[in-house]
Amino acid sequence: MQLGRDFVRALKQLTAERGLTSEVIASSLEAALISAYKKYQGGDRNVEVHIDLESGNVSIYEVRLVVDEVDNPDAQISLIDVQKLGFTDVEVNEYVRIEKNPENFGRIAAQTARQVIIQKLKDAERQIIFEEFSGRVGDLVNGIIFKSENDQVLVRLNDRTEAILPKEERVINEKYTPGERLKFYLLDVRQTTRGPRIVVSRTHPGLLRKLLELEVPEIQEGIIEIKSIVREAGTRAKVAVQTLDINVDPVGACVGNNGARIKSISQELSGEKIDVIIWSSDPLIFVRNSLSPAKIVKIEPILEQDKAVTVYARPDQLSLAIGKAGQNVRLAARLTSWKIDIKALEPERMPTLQDIFQDIIE
């Protein structure tokens, strides 16, 4: 049976456009034609179909067991009947493949197989998409906003792949305008009955990490290590870094000349302010650094509590240390995993004469 040259050309075009291999196409077509043939002939037959994608030739076989007496005509054939078909060297209990070419099957097969082929191609394409992106969870991906309405934001990652940007993964002050190109953190990929469900994020700390790796060569080369990142997406973030080369300033490398590197990252994150601080294995030094840009005078551990400190700042530095609505100290606490209590340290004053002679006066 011939599928026809036009059909073969269409299949080749399909493989080129959808990036599917000829093996995937062939297996899909064979499965479709097996289903169509069984429906056309009825019964529970053991059917094989082989397709030559170059010529368009289709070979259909029914596999039968050779027996003395036939109990199941769909699966068996008598020795006498099989010999009449030209199988002269077979014996009982052997299987034979009998080629079939039923009349009018071509038209019925095409109608029946069409939907099956489409579904198989969709399944194969979905599997390709799943395999392509499931191994990239945690990566930076580029995408274009193509739908932003009714509280739904969809992102096109390429010509055939869409991702979801859930509400909890969106930056509060960002507007997602169709056609806008943004960078995203690939959060999750899972297979569903409707195909791969790909979820991206604009709030995940991993997005900032990937942007730093992209912008700062010293991080890519392993000279600077990112120890931890915390974000309140869209407003402020803190990044703790350390250098593995004493000749390289980790903060300066991340910030760049005149702040060029960190400004570029901040612009990508809709103006998010990014504090880069030096990590330390000494928790008290790390806490002090984490409260940057505030200047801290003194830090005292709270002995009655685990991983808790009291931090003293001068009155003019107190609001800077706490931050707007407590944001600076809140991020510092998350970055260091220490509880931080900030207090104002009143400036010391010189004793007056009244202080010195107080006991005499009294």
Give the chain's end-to-end CA distance (angstroms, integer).
122
Instruction: Answer for the pair 174, 224: CB distance below 8 angstroms, yes or no.
Output: no
Q: Where in the chain is the domain with CATH 3.30.300.20?
A: 204-279, 281-362
**Nearest alpha carbon to residue 281 among 246, 252, 240:** 240
pLDDT on residue 43: 79
pLDDT on residue 358: 57
SS3 119: helix
- CATH 3.30.1480.10 for the 5-133 domain, yes or no: yes
Per-residue pLDDT of the chain (362 residues; tens, 9 = 90+): 666 666 667 677 767 766 667 777 778 788 888 888 888 888 788 999 888 777 777 888 999 999 988 888 888 999 989 898 888 888 899 999 998 887 777 776 666 666 766 777 778 788 888 999 999 999 999 999 999 887 889 999 998 899 999 999 999 889 999 999 999 999 999 999 888 999 999 999 999 999 999 999 999 999 999 999 999 999 999 999 999 999 999 999 999 999 999 999 999 999 999 999 999 999 999 999 999 999 999 999 998 899 999 999 999 999 999 999 999 999 999 999 999 999 998 766 555 566 556 555 54
pLDDT on residue 352: 59
196 Cβ contact list (under 8 Å, min separation 6): 126, 129, 130, 133, 134, 161, 189, 190
Q: How far apart are CA 225 and CA 213, in angstroms?
A: 10
Angle (CA) 137-190-117 rounded to 5° is 120
SS (H, E, C) 187-222: EEEEEECCEEEEEEECCCHHHHHHHHHHHCHHHHCC
Instruction: Answer for the pair 129, 156: CB distance below 8 angstroms, yes or no.
Output: no
Q: Among 3.30.300.20, 1.10.3660.10, 3.40.50.980, 3.90.1150.10, what is the CATH number of 281-362?
A: 3.30.300.20
Q: How far apart are CA 196 and CA 106, in angstroms?
A: 34
pLDDT on residue 357: 60
CATH fold of 135-201 reads: OB fold (Dihydrolipoamide Acetyltransferase, E2P) (2.40.50)
Q: Could you tell me which residues are beta bridge partners of residue 143?
A: 182
Instruction: Answer for the pair 92, 81: CB distance below 8 angstroms, yes or no.
Output: no
Q: How far is CA 195 from CA 41, 122, 126, 283, in A?
A: 33, 9, 6, 47
**Helices 205-215 and 260-268: crossing angle, nearest 10°?**
140
- CATH 3.30.300.20 for the 204-279 domain, yes or no: yes
Q: Where in the chain is the domain with CATH 2.40.50.140?
A: 135-201
Q: How far apart are CA 315 and CA 321, in angstroms?
A: 10
Question: How many H helices and E strands in the chain?
Answer: 13, 15
